[in-house]
Amino acid sequence: MKVLGFLVSSSCSLSIGVLLVCLVSPVFPSQGDALSQNERSVRKDGSTIAIRDYTLIPDVTEPSSPEASDWWRRVRKAGNDLYKKSDEKSKRTFYLLLYEGQQNGYRIPLRDGPPHVLVSRQVTYIEVARRNKIHGTVELSVEYRADASIGEIQVKKGLGWGLDEDAVQAARNCVFLPAVRDGAFVNHVGEVKFAIELGTTNAKKK
């Protein structure tokens, strides 16, 4: 697996009177056990509000060796830290731990499940779209690869005005835990939605 250090930007430049809400669908649902914890993150940066519902990476759910269990708990901590920090040090730690697991041939000690998005970038509300009051939802089909990279992305529902392309770039820059099947990371195709809505705000133009 190639160890990657993604630089995820979350900056947006918006004018007064425009509210951008990026709704990233949680890709990893609760696995139905007491170890899964659902949380909501609401972040405001000027005139941008990002809302995310997510499930923390669960602890070991399947039998594993002591070494694999210890490794997984370090992966879990690093991944859950990314929810709160999204800094480059946390990303590097996370990717290096995935690489360590691959090099040691560790079995993933979880039940089967889809990808777990940890960091996602917002979509920029482009000026021409603002002037024309374009709003709605961009829906994407995204291939989450077993090596923690993003593969093919298809626009299932677009808005035009450059928003579709920006949504694709945002999805491509996400950081995620790959899907799990039979104790191994596997490729998975999931859906991501970016909702852009008009609203009001007292934020000043940046």
List domains and CATH numbers for the chain: 20-196 (3.30.2420.10)
Task: For residue range 50-89, list pLDDT tens digits in order.
Answer: 555 667 888 999 999 999 999 999 999 999 888 888 889 9
**Per-residue b/e over 60-72, b at no fewer than 16 CB within 10 Å?**
bbeebeeebbebb
Amino acid letter at 50? A
Compute the distance between CA of residue 1 and CA of residue 3 in angstroms, rounded to an integer.
Answer: 6
pTM: 0.72
72-81, 96-105, 123-132, 195-204: least confident range: 195-204
Compute the distance between CA of residue 63 and CA of residue 108 in angstroms, rounded to an integer.
Answer: 10
pLDDT grade for 13, boundaries at 50, 70 and 90: very low
